Chains A and B, each alone.
Chain A
Amino acid sequence: MAAPMLRWWCLGRRWVLACIDGGSRHGRGAAIGFTSSRKRGQTSVAQQPLITSQKSRKGEHEWAAVVGLEIHAQISSNSKLFSGSRVHFAAPPNSLVSFFDASLPGTLPVLNRRCVEAAVMTGLALNCRINKKSLFDRKHYFYADLPAGYQITQQRLPIAVNGSLAYSVCVGKKPSRVITKTVRIKQIQLEQDSGKSLHDELRSQTLIDLNRAGVGLLEVVLEPDMSCGEEAATAVRELQLILQALGTSRANMAEGQLRVDANVSVHHPGEPLGVRTEVKNLNSAKFLAKAIDSEIERQIHELENGREILNETRSFDYKLGCTMPMRDKEGKQDYRFMPEPNLPPLLLYDTESLPPGADPQQVINIDWIRERLPELPSETRERLIQQYGILPEHSFALLNEVGLLEFFQNVIKETRAEPKKVTSWVLNIFLGFLKQQNLAVNESPVTPSALAELLNLLDRKAISSTAAKQVFEELWRSEGKTPSQIVSEKQLELMQDQEALERACHTVMEGHPQVVMDVKRGNPRAINKLIGLVRKATLSRADPTAIKEILERKLSP
């Protein structure tokens, strides 16, 4: 049962794909969606991808794709960006709406300190320069779920600029190689979320829910440094992990806390960049890479057939598996940006510039926040590699599931088994069971202590690894029993009686003279057959290493 999982996790390329699926717990099914892009993906991660057209001679019409991202992350805060309304997902419609959120005339925005701190934290974690002075602007457009007729954002002078995000992709099959890539971050800006429109086609009316209106967003703009859907998806996944580690956003795509728009274009290497399209509302991790890759394919196809790419907004149709043009909103939009007159410039300080005697409630000290940044995912992985000597790709896998790292560390704490052994068990068997049953780590019937105890039995050779897997299955099925109980109930202990084992070996050799002859003739496989026969005779309770030792001794000339 665990075997296919094991292959899935170790197959070099595929675990990156698994990264993308990360939080959504759809198991293998999700990865299948990416197979179509795999071939190109494999070349693209190693170097600038050159996509060779099937029709042309090799090298003549190569295409390069360029992908940039705009990511909106909802800030995890108790109240909204400019009002005291609570922030809560799935509350009854319009139950979290202040007068300001509803844009009653005369109401004014009051900046939420927590949201500013979240932006500074995120900026620091993404190696940005934090602007000590940033400004708010109004971006105007009419839409039913935008009650003020404008959104307050940071167009001119955002809170953080010029950062970078490192993400890793795995190349090659066993042994795989982890390559770190970097995407530049243009800026991070604070802005308001809009409300939600619900279109009731039957009664041809639109219902508005303003609960989301005014919730703080971090818009993170990633420069077009990526070249395929997989890179984009991996970068987004890394950003998601960083936001979650910081606690600045829950970054759950299914709940709309992380939303991605992608700018995609293709060109011939050495030539200017092509016309780009914007693929909007990639709200599912599952389809992010697929949407970008299908858009790249579409653009190449259009250009190779002599057509032009229009600078337009497209959306991904997950049923058809391709992007479709979105109905254009009244042609070209001019957002008529204007400074927000009701908010003074946002001033931040560092320890050096902090005015003496400043009220700590009224000022934000960047250095203070920097000193309190939690461990970031890249640091955690590095620590795992250093501390436990595990493989880089395993460090990725451990961080990729919510709660898995904590589970792993709890097992480590209670077991004498080697960290590598623990890693293998956690990533292959434990995670395999979870995936198969679509469970989250915290829903697992097997506790870290139980697994630790099981690994201890294995470590001191009280049971064989085959028996250990049997115990694990039993643990999964029948909660409440300890591994030792299961071992003794099922009589799974390894034979400790050396003489009995010698006798068993002797009996098997006597009963299979032909196999013994094969061994003596130098067939290296033949001994395995003997080992297997002895194990069968001992009801799998003998240690294969011990059996091998005895057989070799007896068969030696």
Chain B
Amino acid sequence: MLGRTLREVSAALKQGQITPTELCQKCLSLIKKTKFLNAYITVSEEVALKQAEESEKRYKKGRSLGDLDGIPIAVKDNFSTSGIETTCASNMLKGYVPPYNATVVQKLLDQGAVLMGKTNLDEFAMGALGSDTGGSTRNPAAHCGVVGFKPSYGLVSRHGLIPLVNSMDVPGILTRCVDDAAIVLGMLAGHDPKDSTTIQDPVKPFTLPTLTDVSKLCIGIPKEYLAPELSGEVRSFWSKAANLFESEGAKVIEVSLPHTSYSIVCYHVLCTSEVASNMARFDGLEYVLGDKEEEPLRTVSQNVNIGQKCHRCDINVSTEAMYAATRREGFNDVVRGRILAGNFFLLKENYENYFIKAQKVRRLIANDFVKVFNSGVDVLLTPTTLRGAAPYLEFIKEDNRTRSAEDDIFTQAVNMAGLPAVSVPVALSNLGLPIGLQFIGRAFCDQQLLKIAKWFEKQVQFPVIQLQELMDDGSSISEIEKLASVSLKH
């Protein structure tokens, strides 16, 4: 059941083949068995069981809320969840319990979804691991063999998503298949009065039509994406995919996005600047880092209620010194590095040379896409990542900056331009690791993009993950664990 698509599970719930509580318990048990993977920062077991119970009552009364009712979901730990700790994997926010739900979380809960917990991320999502600022939904999706969808900027509310780069962040959707992504998008998309950057036009839930004829489509292959670092395997899957479209009658043409290579360095300037600004609020006044003996953390909302904010200032220490100490303790090296770089770029003497220039480059990158789409291209087909997932020991060899520069090479530019993009799993590599390919669509043509991705998904028939075996056979879990530890050592 756990390996199935949202639709299949939803049908099973409706037919009573499984109850929401049973499903929830299966999920919780899988989470426990895979705890060594550190996938979750917080597992909200109690809340999940309660939500499942309520869902079950609705099914019994025949009053299901829809396709998502009783479906287990997980939310990345940078989405605010009312009453559930939200940390962004940062010491700075350890113990912070938001008093409100992010709009997207609220929408999912309103549909009856069951929240299993909060998933892990790099501190403040500053790494390649659902939000997507530079590829953080599509890259992990490609490595994990699932669908990772980044909607158009402005289609889905960011309210409650703790920001990394406001002008590029979008809530991302990770599902087993394209249809499921479309269902979730239908639930989440649309104007949010709490987010002024969302589109005004109303968006209605929709069912993705099945495409049978691709002969009228024009698929663009951006030549700049043929990077020298691209692995042979990925490259071959990419060209196979292009051939597939061509053989089914689609027009496949080479296109050029000439400013692609500037994307990463441009991103670096814009991202660090926004990070420096966004992190300014973490000054220790609102979110006091608790010493071990002291009570843990007090949030502003609590303090506001008592009419004052805590001022953690030792005697004879200035407020500035307190800020410095708090921020040194609360942020890791990557975050601190970005804050320093961003503040440097925003200095009066540097603003013109860095920030303004980067904004101009961003416009050029966005215009590249506009030109290509105006020339008649419907979607672009590119790799999602350079290669399959790297083993842990190799992964930790590189520093964060090099890693994210490499990881985001195919995904970054899309965020600059605010376009929708989806990574679809294609096949397993020689090592048995999943490989994904990316489709990039026109702004706000998310449905068209998903329609094409769905057609492609159907052609490639990516193997379904066999979670059931894990669940049924206790021994295989320990084997997996062994396997994992072996790979960690090798």
Contacts and interface: CB of A to CB of B under 8 A. Distances in A.
B304 A108 contact: no
B346 A341 contact: no
A93 B308 CA distance: 8
B197 interface: yes
Given A103-B300, A208-B308, A144 B319 contact: yes
25 contacts: A94-B304, A99-B99, A103-B300, A105-B80, A105-B88, A106-B98, A106-B160, A107-B159, A108-B194, A140-B276, A140-B277, A149-B277, A149-B281, A150-B280, A205-B313, A206-B313, A207-B307, A336-B343, A336-B347, A336-B351, A338-B277, A341-B197, A342-B166, A342-B195, A344-B197
A515 B161 CA distance: 98
A232 B165 CA distance: 44
A102 B102 CA distance: 16
A contact face: mostly helix, strand, loop, or mixed: loop
A33 interface: no
Contacts of A149: 277, 279-283
Given A144-B311, A208-B308, A106 B166 contact: no
Contacts of B300: 102-104, 147
B283 A142 contact: yes
A97 interface: yes
A92 B305 CA distance: 11
Contact of B355 (A103, A106, A338, A344): A338
B301 A344 contact: no
A306 B320 CA distance: 37
Contacts of A97: 304
Contacts of B308: 93-94, 207-208
Interface in A86-145: 92-94, 97, 99, 102-111, 138, 140, 142, 144
A271 interface: no
A142 B322 CA distance: 11
Nearest to B169: A341
B196 A342 contact: yes
A103 B281 contact: yes
B315 to A, nearest CB: 7
B323 A142 contact: yes
Contacts of A343: 196-197
Nearest to B287: A105
Contacts of A138: 277
Interface string A71-98: 0000000000000000000001110010
Contacts of B281: 103, 105, 147-149
Nearest to B159: A108
Nearest to A340: B166
Contacts of B303: 94
Given A94-B308, A106-B160, A338-B346, A148 B196 contact: no
A476 interface: no
B239 interface: no
B100 interface: yes
Contacts of B311: 144, 205-208
Interface in B275-316: 276-277, 279-283, 285-286, 299-301, 303-305, 307-309, 311, 313, 315
Given A102-B286, A106-B80, A337 B163 contact: no
Interface string B86-118: 001000010010111010000000000000000
A140 B161 CA distance: 22
Interface of B: 79-80, 88, 93, 96, 98-100, 102, 158-163, 165-167, 193-197, 200, 273-274, 276-277, 279-283, 285-286, 299-301, 303-305, 307-309, 311, 313, 315, 319-320, 323, 343, 346-348, 351, 355
A204 interface: yes
Contacts of A337: 346, 348, 351
Contacts of A289: none
A104 B301 contact: yes
Interface of A: 92-94, 97, 99, 102-111, 138, 140, 142, 144, 147-150, 204-210, 330, 334, 336-338, 341-344, 362
A204 B286 contact: no
Contacts of A206: 311, 313, 319
Given A103-B281, A104-B99, A343-B196, 17 more contacts: A94-B303, A94-B307, A99-B99, A104-B98, A104-B100, A105-B88, A105-B96, A105-B163, A107-B160, A108-B196, A108-B197, A142-B320, A149-B280, A149-B283, A204-B315, A206-B313, A338-B274
A102 B196 contact: no
A206 B323 CA distance: 14
B contact face: mostly helix, strand, loop, or mixed: loop
Contact of A150 (B277, B301, B323, B351): B277
Interface centre among A109, A209, A342 (most CB of B within 10 A): A342
Nearest to A210: B304
Given A336-B343, A341-B167, A93 B307 contact: yes
Nearest to A82: B196
A300 to B, nearest CB: 32
B352 to A, nearest CB: 12
A406 B490 CA distance: 89
A355 to B, nearest CB: 12
Contacts of A102: 286, 300-301, 304
A99 to B, nearest CB: 6
A111 B193 CA distance: 10
B343 A144 contact: no
A106 B283 contact: no
A169 B359 CA distance: 49
Contacts of B319: 142, 144, 206
B200 A105 contact: no
A58 to B, nearest CB: 45
B193 to A, nearest CB: 7
A121 B411 CA distance: 46
Contact of A110 (B194, B304, B348): B194
Contact of A111 (B196, B200, B277, B315): B196
A207 B196 CA distance: 32
Contacts of B305: 94
Contact of B196 (A110, A208, A338): A110
A140 B346 contact: yes
Given A149-B281, A336-B276, A338-B355, A106 B162 contact: yes
A337 B305 CA distance: 32
A99 B100 contact: yes
Contacts of B88: 105
B304 A344 contact: no
Contacts of A344: 196-197
Contacts of B280: 140, 142, 148-150
A24 to B, nearest CB: 30
Interface centre among A93, A97, A204, A334 (most CB of B within 10 A): A334
Interface centre among A105, A110, A338, A362 (most CB of B within 10 A): A105
